[in-house]
Amino acid sequence: MNFPKVEVTGTPVTALTLGEQISVMVDWAKRRCSKVVCVANVHMLMESRWNQSFSSILAKADLVTPDGMPLVWVMRKIGAKSQDRVAGMDIFQSVCDKAVQEGLSVYLFGSTPPVLSKMQERLKQDYPDLKLAGVESPPFRALTESENAAIAQRINASGAGFTFVSLGCPKQEIWMEDQRGKVNSVMIGVGAVFPVYARVKKHAPKWVRESGLEWFYRLLQEPRRLFGRYLKTIPPFVWLAFRQLQSQNR
């Protein structure tokens, strides 16, 4: 299926609302389709800009959702007037809601055993009727071909309609693309959603998320880990987005 897309600093981003994208994912999950959903923010778009092989992964993804508000703002300026934010946490919670309604199951893949344990506890409270097909924390290293084959076999045997993948960018996107056609499930790369949902990390207040300042909120929580990344990615994104909008208005 060809969905409307808007190029943001050179990367095609799916121009559908949150509700529309969730509906698409649910339809795929019912049919156990092997699909790749990338949840894009500024960091991901800059990785795509600098790495051609990663850029090709995003170009082939079945959905690339606009997670960051800066992406949404650019898309609205270009013409996707009704575009809203399709963020990882919103996708996760919306999918869990729909999975309960439709009798679909979800598989959690990635992060650490303590985080997954806390997630399961919260999921039992928030979605008592949710079918959790499986939970798996892979080794923190490159997986072998045989290990990946075994993982795909476990996910397929579980019957999961959705597989949430939390390995971090770009590792999770590379893994999902490699498992295309092998894992019969809608694979959704959600990055930091796992520790946030487990309440290991704090979720930014709604007004912070909507104002586009979530990056600053996260920086205050993890300055050592994120300062270098943000310094490397935010200024060039702003410059590229400015140039794109400037050329669009000529």
d(CA 110, CA 167): 5
| List of the chain residues with pLDDT < 50 | none
- For residue 72, CA distances in Å to 8, 13, 14 come to 9, 10, 11
pLDDT of residue 213: 84
* In the chain, domain spans: 5-197
d(CA 26, CA 20): 10
d(CA 4, CA 224): 38
d(CA 126, CA 167): 24
pLDDT of residue 250: 66
CB 119 within 8 A of CB 197: yes
> Please, where are the H alpha helices in the chain?
18-30, 42-50, 52-60, 69-78, 88-102, 113-126, 145-158, 171-178, 193-197, 206-211, 214-221, 223-248
**Plot region of 151 (φ>0 → left; ψ -120 to 50 → alpha; else → beta):** alpha
Taking only the tens place, the pLDDT of each residue in 193-215 is: 999 999 999 888 888 888 888 88
pLDDT of residue 219: 85
Taking only the tens place, the pLDDT of each residue in 120-144 is: 999 999 999 999 999 999 998 889 9
